[in-house]
Amino acid sequence: MTETLLELETRLVQAKEARHRLLTGTQEVTVSLHGYGSTTYTNGNVEALEKYIHELQIEISRRNGSARRGIIRTSF
């Protein structure tokens, strides 16, 4: 299933709102995952939600043509 940029951005906003609710006291939140249903996050798995947010940000960057590059290290 190919998602549009708008769908990805909407999911990113929803995921960030879910993270905010978790971190400010709501015990659990449910987030839609790529049109394949949903999952419930609790305080115990905030890291999984953070990973999902990061993956969405990467995909949005790719679609916008501004994918992040890795750190360039130089040595002399």
At 54, which CATH number?
Answer: 3.30.1580.10
Whether residue 42 lies inside any domain: the answer is yes
**pLDDT band at residue 12 under the 50/70/90 scheme:** very high
Whether residue 75 lies inside any domain: the answer is no
Whether residue 23 lies inside any domain: the answer is yes
The span from the CA of 30 to the CA of 19, in Å, is: 10
- Which residues span the domain enclosing 12? 5-63
Smallest CA-to-CA distance from 14 within 47, 45, 38, 44 is with: 38
Whether residue 76 lies inside any domain: the answer is no
Tokens of 49: 């939600």
Total of domains in the chain = 1
Whether residue 74 lies inside any domain: the answer is no
**pLDDT band at residue 54 under the 50/70/90 scheme:** very high
Whether residue 38 lies inside any domain: the answer is yes
For 19-53, what is each residue's pLDDT tens digit? 888 788 766 677 777 667 777 777 667 888 899 99
